[in-house]
Structures are given as C-alpha cells and as structure tokens.
C-alpha cells in the first residue's frame, strides 16, 4: 500500500498531487467513492487530513482530477491521425485498439471512470464526457455501415454499445505484468469486436498493422 514509505519509518514519504491521486483512486476503487472518507484517504496516504487539503480542496476535487486524467487520455485518441483519416472501418479499428491501450496504461483512472454513476456534479460531468466519447464511436460505427462493412440489420448504436462494452470490460480483469501485452490485447480485442459487427460475407475488417 504505502510504496513510498520504504524500509524505515524515519521519513514520511514526500507527496506530490499525482502520488496522492494514485492512492486516492486505489481507495475509491476498493471501497467505492461514496464510502471513502477524507480521513480514510489521509490514513491510506500516510498523511494528515490538512496535508490532503493542501493539495485538494475536497474529495470531489480529487475525483475530478482522477476522472479528467482518464477522459483526457481517451479524448486524445480521437485526435490521433489514425482515428481521423482513412476508411471508417480502419479508423474504428484504430480507435478501439488505442482505447484498449489507454485503458491498460491508465487502468485505475479508467476503471474509476467506468464506475461513475452520476451521484454528484463531478460524476454527472464525467458521464456527459463519456457519452460524448461514446457518440463519436457510434458515429464511426454508423460510417462503417455506409460503406457496407456493418453486418446487415445491426443498428449502429447497438453495435457501438456492444463494442464499447467489450472493450471497457477489460478493466474488470486485466492486470499489468501478465503474459498478455497491452498492444497484443488491444489488437485482438479490436479485431474480435470489428469482426463481430462486420457482415458475415462482407469484406473482412482490417487486420492489425504489421510490426
């Protein structure tokens, strides 16, 4: 838990906001945001409550910072060239694959984002940004339909929900350091997802890029 404490008890770890954020997100995921008090955060971080308030005015401000980190990373993917240029199916493959990579790279922050239910202004704000991201995915699925790649009769909105559900569920079980690299997992998940929503006899979705 207190990685930064080291072997002895002589010095308190020096906290920067990022390290405090990391500990707080662990606690939020473990106990639930609502059920975590600032006193518990302080204890987990090995800090006094006043030290936490030095960095963040409130528990909700910590949540906001953590959710921003996940959302900013996801929205950055939308700006990548691979998500903006080329045929819709290739852009969708890029978007799904990079979303999985971001999920793995920012695992605790994205996990927290995916558990947000809208119980505060900050949660409602995060849900609205998530919906915005999901809409961009849905638009891309709809665009693949217009090029004949989508399987017949599949509603693009439903296709997008199923794809995002599959991708997001990776946060429930993936643990870094296992045999499966983030890049390999991302390629497989994007390919399975795209193949799933593609026409059974239509053109195959783009394969993973050669490396």
Residue 185 interacts with its own copies (CB under 8 A): yes or no: yes
Structure tokens at 33: 């945001």
The CA–CA distances, whole Å, from 13 to 17, 66, 98 equal 12, 21, 34
Dmax over CA atoms of the chain, in Å, equals 67
- For the four alpha carbons of 15, 126, 60 and 110, in that order, the dihedral sign comes to negative
What is the chain's alpha carbon radius of gyration, rounded to the nearest angstrom? 20
Which of 10-18, 64-72, 87-95, 157-165 is the region at the interface with its own copies (rule: CB under 8 A)?
Answer: 157-165
**Residue 10 beta carbon to its own copies: minimum distance, rounded to whole angstroms:** 33
**Residue 9 beta carbon to its own copies: minimum distance, rounded to whole angstroms:** 29
Report the residue from 2, 5, 30, 152 that binds its own copies according to the rule CB under 8 A. 30
Report the residue from 165, 176, 181, 209 that binds its own copies according to the rule CB under 8 A. 165
From CA 30, how far away is CA 34, in angstroms rounded? 11
Residue 35 interacts with its own copies (CB under 8 A): yes or no: yes
**Residue 198 beta carbon to its own copies: minimum distance, rounded to whole angstroms:** 8
From CA 157, how far away is CA 140, in angstroms rounded? 10
**Residue 50 beta carbon to its own copies: minimum distance, rounded to whole angstroms:** 25
Place of tokens 């900013």: 72
Residue 119 interacts with its own copies (CB under 8 A): yes or no: yes
Which of 55/100 has CB closer to its own copies?
100
Q: Interior CA angle at 113 toward 108 and 115, to 5°?
A: 95
From CA 176, how far away is CA 86, in angstroms rounded? 32
List residues binding its own copies (CB under 8 A): 30-32, 34-35, 117, 119, 151, 154, 158-159, 161-162, 164-166, 168-170, 172-173, 180, 185, 188-189, 192-198, 200, 204
């Amino acid at each position: 838990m207190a990685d930064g404490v080291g072997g002895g008890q002589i010095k308190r770890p020096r906290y920067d906001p990022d390290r405090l954020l990391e500990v707080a997100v662990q606690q939020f995921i473990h106990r639930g945001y609502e059920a975590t008090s600032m006193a518990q955060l302080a204890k987990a971080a090995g800090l006094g409550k006043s030290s936490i308030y030095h960095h963040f005015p409130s528990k909700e401000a910590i949540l906001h910072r953590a959710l921003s980190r996940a959302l900013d990373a996801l929205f950055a993917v939308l700006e990548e060239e691979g998500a903006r240029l080329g045929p819709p199916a290739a852009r969708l493959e890029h978007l799904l694959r990079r979303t999985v990579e971001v999920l793995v790279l920012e695992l605790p922050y994205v996990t927290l984002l995916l558990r947000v239910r809208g119980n505060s202004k900050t949660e409602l704000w995060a849900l609205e940004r998530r919906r915005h991201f999901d809409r961009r995915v849905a638009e891309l699925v709809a665009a693949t339909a217009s090029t004949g790649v989508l399987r017949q009769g599949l509603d693009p909105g439903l296709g997008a929900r199923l794809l995002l559900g599959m991708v997001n569920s990776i946060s429930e079980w993936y643990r870094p350091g296992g045999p499966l690299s983030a890049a390999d997992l991302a390629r497989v998940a994007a390919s399975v997802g795209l193949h799933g929503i593609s026409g059974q006899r239509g053109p195959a979705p783009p394969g993973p890029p050669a490396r």
